[in-house]
Amino acid sequence: MTSLTRGIGFAAASFLVLDGLIGAGIFALPTRMAETLEPASPGYFCCFGFLSCMHRKTAA
């Protein structure tokens, strides 16, 4: 019977770094945007959400 090795390879480590970058972009960027734009930030979020939905319809 073969035993499983307990380690992390280069690909897994690379995906962990990529996961951290994506997570930071999802949570840190909207927070920074809300702090910068303050009262107008809800309008900008709605506008960018609408534009991203329109982009998906035209790209597909």
Q: Does 46 fall in a domain? A: yes
Q: Does 41 fall in a domain? A: yes
Total of domains in the chain: 1
Q: Does 14 fall in a domain? A: no
Instruction: Give the per-residue pLDDT at 18.
Output: 92
Say if CB 24 and CB 16 are below 8 A apart: no
Mind listing the pLDDT tens digit for each residue in 31-47? 787 788 788 878 887 88
pLDDT above 70 as % of the chain: 88
Q: Does 20 fall in a domain? A: no
Instruction: Give the per-residue pLDDT at 42.
Output: 80
The rounded distance, in Å, linking the Cα atoms of 42 and 48 is 10
Q: Does 4 fall in a domain? A: no
* pLDDT, average across residues 48-58: 74
Say if CB 28 and CB 22 are below 8 A apart: no
Show the domain range for 39. Answer: 30-60
* pLDDT, average across residues 21-34: 80
Q: Does 49 fall in a domain? A: yes
DSSP reduced 3-state for 7: coil
Q: Does 47 fall in a domain? A: yes
